[in-house]
Amino acid sequence: MTTRLETVPAGEALTRARDLEQLGAKVAHELKNPLTAVKALLQLGLRNPAEAASHERLALVEREVARMLEILQRYLACYRPLEELEPTPVALGPLAADTLLALSARAADAGVRLSTRGDATAEADPRRLREALQNLVSNGIEATPRGGEVVVEVLARADGAEIVVRDTGRGMAPDTLRRLGTPFFSTREDGTGLGVVLARAAIARHGGTLRYESAPGKGTTARATLPTRARAA
C-alpha cells in the first residue's frame, strides 16, 4: 500500500521556513567562524606534521571540518535568497536535463541510472528551482540501491506544471514519511534532513506545493507543482 504525505499549505511552509531560517542563521553564524579558524590551524599543522600517525589524525579532522562547513554553506546559500526570487519563463524539461547532468557522476558512482522526459513551461527562478530539484534527485540517488533508477518527469497542467521525481529505492514506512521534511530528521545516519526542507520552502516560495508518495520496497515519488505564474516577492 502506497502512503501519501499530504501537501503542506504554502503559507504554513513559508512560516516554517522563516522560523528555521532565523534559528539556522544564528547557529550558522556561531559555528562558521570557529570552524573556519580550526580548519586554518589544521592546514597549518598538516604542513608540519610531527609523525605519520598525527598527520592521519589531522587529515581526518580536516575532512570532518570541511564537511561541516559544506553543510553550513549549503544551508546559507539556500536560505538567504528566499525573499529574492527572480522569476522568468523557464522550460522545465531542459532544466531537469541540466540538473541530471550535474548529478551524473554521483549517480554513476552509486550505480544508479538517471533519466528525464517531458517538458512544460512555468514562471520560476531557475537557480532556486534547479537547487530544489537537485535536492530531490540527490535524495533519490541516495535512497536507491545499485542497479536502480531515478526518473524525472515534467508534466504540463492546466494551471501550471508538475515535476515528478521517482526512485526505485527502499521506500518509506508511513511513520517515516510523516516525519519527512522535519528539520534534521533523516533516514541516513550522516544526513541533515535539510534537503527536503529547503526544496519545499523554495517551491512554496514560488506558490507551489511538494508532496510525497511512498511504500516500503516500492520506492518514493516526489511531486512538485508550480503555478503558471510565480508568486510576487
What is the per-residue pLDDT across 16-41, written as a single tens digit (0 to 9) for each?
556 566 656 666 666 776 777 777 77
Q: What is the mean pLDDT of the chain?
A: 79
Confidence of residue 96 (pLDDT cuts 50, 70, 90): very high
φ, ψ (nearest 5 deg) of residue 96: -65, -40
φ, ψ (nearest 5 deg) of residue 211: -135, 160
Residue at grid coordinates 541516495: 142
With a cut of 90, say whether residue 133 has pLDDT above it.
yes
Q: Quote the pLDDT of residue 44.
A: 72
Percent of the chain having pLDDT more than 70?
Answer: 67
- 195 burial level (CB within 10 Å; 0-12, 13-18, 19+): buried
- According to CATH, the superfamily of the domain at 84-227 is Histidine kinase-like ATPase, C-terminal domain (3.30.565.10)
Q: What is each CA distance from 55 to 44, 51, 69, 226, in whole angstroms?
A: 11, 6, 21, 51
φ, ψ (nearest 5 deg) of residue 48: -135, 60
Confidence of residue 81 (pLDDT cuts 50, 70, 90): very low
As a whole number, mean pLDDT of residues 95-110 equals 95
Q: Quote the pLDDT of residue 7.
A: 47
Dihedral angle, C-alpha 37, 135, 110, 151, nearest 10 °:
-170
